[in-house]
Amino acid sequence: MKSEDTRLRDVMNIKTFKSNVFPVQAKLYRFAKTMLHDNEEAEDTVQEALLKLWLSRNNLTSYKSIEALAMVVTKNLCLDKLKSSYRKKIIPLTSTANTADDATPYRKAELANTAGILRELIGQLPEQQRLVIHLRDVEEYSYEEIEQVTGLSVNNIRVTLSRARRSVREMYTKINAYGS
């Protein structure tokens, strides 16, 4: 049985919570936005996730990776929202392509268009493939971190990622070949 001093030391205070959880807030938002395709819903989902984590802060010290736990909580909340009947199907038309500052306006427009097409194609993937490709290629998570978030084995993650990339590549090639 733990002593009272040990138990109090294991309990997370607000300062520890802020230093461990708040740095991943931007990742949680990008992840939620990718799944939900809606800025406001993504913000709401991240707030819900942070609230859930705060309410269970006394148990957070027992987890190996608070970031992985936060991603799992966010993923589950996103899936709940996607399953709900009031969910609207909205795909944003804006693009946030990373472009070089010295690129010509034509090149910037081309990159933004390509990024938009790729986002749309990724959005057409099955949920598991979309989740894995986002975590690996957008958030740059390691296979082990993706394993913690998704519960899939590393081998399954590699196969899923390979299939997702191949599907996106094939769909993108068809779109580009159509104009030729």
pLDDT of residue 96: 44
Band (179; pLDDT cuts 50, 70, 90): low
Coil/strand/helix, residue 102:
coil
Q: Model confidence over 116-172: pLDDT tens digits?
A: 888 888 889 998 999 899 888 888 888 888 888 888 999 999 999 999 999 998 998
Domains delineated in the chain: 4-83 (1.10.1740), 105-178 (1.10.10.10)
User: Could you count the other beta carbons within 10 Å of the beta carbon of residue 159?
Assistant: 13
Q: Model confidence over 15-25: pLDDT tens digits?
A: 888 888 888 99
